Amino acid sequence: DAGVIQSPRHEVTEMGQEVTLRCKPISGHDYLFWYRQTMMRGLELLIYFNNNVPIDDSGMPEDRFSAKMPNASFSTLKIQPSEPRDSAVYFCASRRGGDTQYFGPGTRLTVL
Partner 1 sequence: SQKIEQNSEALNIQEGKTATLTCNYTNYSPAYLQWYRQDPGRGPVFLLLIRENEKEKRKERLKVTFDTTLKQSLFHITASQPADSATYLCALERSWGKLQFGAGTQVVVTP
DSSP letter at 81 equals S
Q: Provide the minimum distance between the beta carbon of 82 and partner 1 in the complex, in angstroms, as a whole number.
A: 22
Best CA proximity match to 31, nearest among 11, 63, 53, 16: 53
Give the separation between CA 24 and CA 105, rounded to whole angstroms: 11
Q: Provide the minimum distance between the beta carbon of 25 and partner 1 in the complex, in angstroms, as a whole number.
A: 13
Summarize as ranges the residues that interact with partner 1 (CB under 8 A): 4, 31, 42-43, 45, 48, 50, 55-56, 91, 93, 98, 100-106
Which residue, 70 or 98, is less far from partner 1 as judged by CB?
A: 98
Cβ–Cβ contacts within 10 Å for residue 70, how many?
9
Which residue, 48 or 65, is less far from partner 1 as judged by CB?
A: 48
* Cβ atoms 18, 82 nearer than 8 A: yes
Which residue, 19 or 93, is less far from partner 1 as judged by CB?
A: 93
